[in-house]
Structure 1
Amino acid sequence: MRDARGMTDRRRGRVEPETDTTVRSEDWDGRDLTGERHERVAFIDVDLTETVTRGTVFTDCVFRGVRFNASAHTNTAFTNCAFTRCAFFDATFTGCKLVGSAFDACTYGLLKVSGGDWSFAELARADLGGASFEDVRMREADLTGARLGGATLRNVDLSGAALHRADLTGCDLRGSDLSALDPLSVELKDAVIDLTQAVMIATALGLEVRSE
């Protein structure tokens, strides 16, 4: 049985975490994983539909072809994990930690993220249209070329985030830290911003903002 050991993400040159054990083709649909700890485990083609996690910890794990549809995660940590071809339809993450985790070729329809820390997460070219991120720390996250049309990014800390070529069409960005945003390198048509952000973007474009 072949497991995931040091496989390279060809698109980014990232090396997946080395794993010691493999869970393959298991049906964990609806399972409660509260308080469990999993380290250096490869989950391959596992069904986690409607699973529940609370205070669960996944460290240096690999998820490939895993279905997270309609799952609910609260105060759970997925630290330095790799997700490839996973499905997150209607999944909810509340107060979760995904620092340093990488996502490749996943689907995210109706994904909802509230609170937590997704700093340094790799979401380059991810199709996050319609997803919702609120009150989330995403410092230095890689959103290069991400498609966020119609998404919600409210009160999100995007300081230092890579946003080059990101599509933010119709995205609700109010309250978010856009200090890393180059308005000339992203699509901002119909995006919703607040007054403070408007001044910042105008200044970045070389405009002089006056009160009268």
Structure 2
Amino acid sequence: MAVRAGRGGRWRAPVKPRPPSSLELATEDHDLENEATFRRLGFFDLDLSGRSADGVEFEQCRFKGSDLSGTQLDGAAFTDCLFESTNLANLRAEKSSMIRARLSTLRMTGVHWINGALRDVTISECRLDLSSFRFTDFSSVVFEGCNLTRADFQNADLSGVRFTNCDLTGAQFSQATMEGTRFANCVLVGIGGVTSMGGAVVAHQDLVALSYTLAGALGIRIEDAEEE
């Protein structure tokens, strides 16, 4: 494994979401149903928890103060969407996509985004502990100021991701693609799959904690100079 402190894959900042010219407020009549399409709607303070739907599409929508916890989506698509102060805890989305989106101050504990895709997405100040992004492809995605303790990125393509000021304690990266993945001012204690981090770019201040994890994965014993 090569962990470089220099330049890795070329980085491209996420493209910002394209806001609608006007926004209509969603009501309880805008419930999640199979193959439903929602365009230019504001989902403000609505309870959409515990739902199950396939093929739902959201375009130029905004979510604020709403609850989608425990909802299950299959083949969902979010394009040009904004999420703020919304509850996505234990949301399960499979084969779903998110393109040009911004998520801020969300509760996303236990969210499962499996075998999906995120492109041009910024996720900031979100609680993502125990989340799972297995087999998901990331392109131009930023995690900033997020709690990602024990998050699972197994088999994910993270080559287009930047982690900044994130807590990744105990996160799992086994068999992930990480050429050009960038870490800055992150907690990297006890991460799993550290040998999959070939090509990652790590800030020098983060390297000390990572080196202990790497040594443990390789069976290297670290001892004080005074020890015999």
Whether TM-score is above 0.5 comes out as: yes
Question: What percent identity do the matched residue pairs reach?
Answer: 15
Determine which of 120, 145, 155 is the counterpart of 2:175.
145
Q: Which residue of 2 aligns with 1:103?
A: 133
Q: Which residue of 1 aligns with 2:148?
A: 118
Q: Which has the larger radius of gyration?
A: 2
Moved more, 77-86 or 111-120: 77-86
* Distance change (3 Å), C-alpha of 1:101 and 1:180: farther
Aligned-pair CA distance for 1:31: 0.6
Q: Give the Cα separation in 1 of the matches to 2:177 and 2:221.
A: 22
Please tell me whether the aligned partners of residues 67 and 87 of structure 2 are also in contact (alpha carbons under 8 angstroms).
yes
Q: Give the Cα separation in 2 of the matches to 1:134 and 1:159.
A: 15
Does the alignment pair 1:93 with 2:123?
yes
Secondary structure in 1 matching 2:137:
coil
* Distance change (3 Å), C-alpha of 1:52 and 1:180: farther
Q: Give the Cα separation in 2 of the matches to 1:160 and 1:27.
A: 38
One-letter code of the match for 1:122?
D
One-letter code of the match for 1:87?
A
Determine which of 168, 175, 190 is the counterpart of 2:198.
168
RMSD: 2.5
Does the alignment pair 1:69 with 2:68?
no
Q: Give the Cα separation in 1 of the matches to 2:179 and 2:157.
A: 9
Q: Give the Cα separation in 2 of the matches to 1:208 and 1:39.
A: 48
- TM-score, scaled relative to structure 2: 0.69
**Which sections of structure 2, spanning at least 5 residues, go unmatched?**
1-33, 35-48
Please tell me whether the aligned partners of residues 65 and 86 of structure 1 are also in contact (alpha carbons under 8 angstroms).
yes
Please tell me whether the aligned partners of residues 163 and 181 of structure 1 are also in contact (alpha carbons under 8 angstroms).
no
One-letter code of the match for 1:172?
V
Q: Give the Cα separation in 1 of the matches to 2:142 and 2:162.
A: 5
- What does 1:13-92 correspond to in 2, within 5 Å? 20-92=50-122
Aligned-pair CA distance for 1:207: 9.7
Q: Give the Cα separation in 2 of the matches to 1:159 and 1:172.
A: 13
Q: Which residue of 2 aligns with 1:178?
A: 210
**Which sections of structure 1, spanning at least 5 residues, go unmatched?**
4-18, 187-203
Q: Give the Cα separation in 2 of the matches to 1:146 and 1:46.
A: 23
Q: Give the Cα separation in 1 of the matches to 2:176 and 2:135.
A: 12
Please tell me whether the aligned partners of residues 162 and 180 of structure 1 are also in contact (alpha carbons under 8 angstroms).
no
For residues 124-157 of structure 1, give each alpha carbon's deviation from its aligned partner in whole angstroms, at most 9, with x where no partner exists. Answer: 2222113100000111111123222111101110
Higher strand residue share: 2
Q: Which residue of 2 aligns with 1:16?
A: none
For residues 101-136 of structure 1, give each alpha carbon's deviation from its aligned partner in whole angstroms, at most 9, with x where no partner exists. Answer: 111221101111111101111112222113100000
